[in-house]
Structure 1
């Protein structure tokens, strides 16, 4: 009879779980430049300027390459009061790094006439301009800026204060404009049909090359919609959600159905709308944006810290 001890013979060491050695800290500087670039392109501009470029010197060098700044996305959560830096200064640095090669820029929750014109003066090749909740930007600054952007193809003004006349100037100054998003609050309407249609008429009279038009929450009436259909013969995508002055019926409904490839009607759901359709939803519960605006300066007192942003983290930003 075999000894019972044979049942307890040691398992060969090759089949025993090996104790894992503690993983050594990753040397981020040794990553291939193309991989670093791929990582950085997944970040927005604030994340690059405030975090990624401080990882190491090699990352810093790549972050300074103008090719990294063809698109500037200044996305933030709107909590401007708690930020430790000034977004306007940061945005100017991002624009400067593009060295005139900027093609797309998105501003969220901040911006002034001066900043918009700073961008336009240095980015004559700009093709996409998105202004989301940039209330401090007024007609005068907007008009002055778009006149310097003849190659613009995509314009978005979401929860902004652009007038019909300002939109008309944009259309006249940017003949290549093919996509316009003009999203508004849904609780403002006028008893005067002419006032309700001012923005729609500005679009109709100046943007004949439009293919995509989003007007969520706009006050336009059937008159304004008819003018858009007449003035924008290439229109393929039309979003009229929350446009409660529009009555899609009869000949107008037929015309829209036959002309427009993708039509979103006034009563269609806004569940897939990236910003919702209620300004309170976009602002969030803390309302920091309005707190800062009421203090007379939309960015609070925080200043973008230049001392952390260089190769040796001590010299000038540039």
Structure 2
């Protein structure tokens, strides 16, 4: 019981510290990185207070919901880089709304930990959402995604400006034939079985 109380106090302190930092920025916040304890309410507070955010990183923020991210996406018109790692977010509606609301988005990282996933079924939902709405991406990282060759082809067709593509731990992909030639187009291509270092995980 004492451990849980201590954890809750720690999370509450982090929330207060983040809000104070946002307040002190006086609306000039450009780059923010939040780990573990971001909530829909905190994300809304940040985006209500800061209209010029260009880079947003959410790492292990399991309390962010699809509805919460969708609600704030329209408040991020200048967003250029977005990283969402190890979350419960899905393709619908969050990724479509982000893509439609953030026309300047150039870098998107949407990562999962394959080795901890309870559901390994194939799914191209994320890939199709990205392909349909994020046409100006230059850098895409989809580590641990469940996309198949069809999803990858949709991304290559829908995102013609891609310069780097990270597909590590995307084990449903079979990169042969025409898809095997995507290395000729992508300057930096990282394949499913390439290792992920401890610093990156």
Give the alignment's TM-score, normalised by structure 1: 0.58
- Name the residue aligned to 1:224: 151
- For the pair shown, which has the larger CA radius of gyration, 1 or 2? 1
CA deviation map 1:266-299 (0-9, x unaligned)? 0001126522xxxxxxxxxxxxxxxxxxxxxxxx
Work out whether 1:127 is the aligned partner of 2:54. yes
Work out whether 1:170 is the aligned partner of 2:98. yes
Work out whether 1:182 is the aligned partner of 2:105. no
> What are the residue-to-residue correspondences of 1:137-148 with 2, within 5 Å?
137-148=64-75
Extract structure 1 runs of 4+ deviating beyond 6 A: none
Where does structure 1 lack aligned partners over 5 or more consecutive residues? 1-78, 276-318
What secondary structure does 2:178 align onto?
helix
Work out whether 1:116 is the aligned partner of 2:50. no
What secondary structure does 2:87 align onto?
coil
**Structure 2 CA distance for aligned equivalents of residues 125 and 86 of structure 1:** 25
- Name the residue aligned to 1:73: none
- Name the residue aligned to 1:259: 185
Query: Does the 8 Å contact 1:188/1:219 carry over to 2?
Result: no
Bigger proportion of residues as strand: 2
- Name the residue aligned to 2:133: 206
- Name the residue aligned to 1:43: none
> Closer, same or farther in 2 for the Cα pair 1:202/1:85, shift >3 Å?
closer
> Closer, same or farther in 2 for the Cα pair 1:208/1:224, shift >3 Å?
same
- Counterpart among 186, 197, 200 of residue 271 in structure 1: 197
CA deviation map 1:14-55 (0-9, x unaligned)? xxxxxxxxxxxxxxxxxxxxxxxxxxxxxxxxxxxxxxxxxx
- Counterpart among 141, 151, 156 of residue 78 in structure 2: 151
Query: Does the 8 Å contact 1:135/1:160 carry over to 2?
Result: yes
- Name the residue aligned to 2:3: none
Q: With CA pairs under 8 Å and 6+ residues apart, which has the higher RCO, 1 or 2?
A: 1
Query: Does the 8 Å contact 1:107/1:132 carry over to 2?
Result: yes
Superposed CA RMSD: 1.7
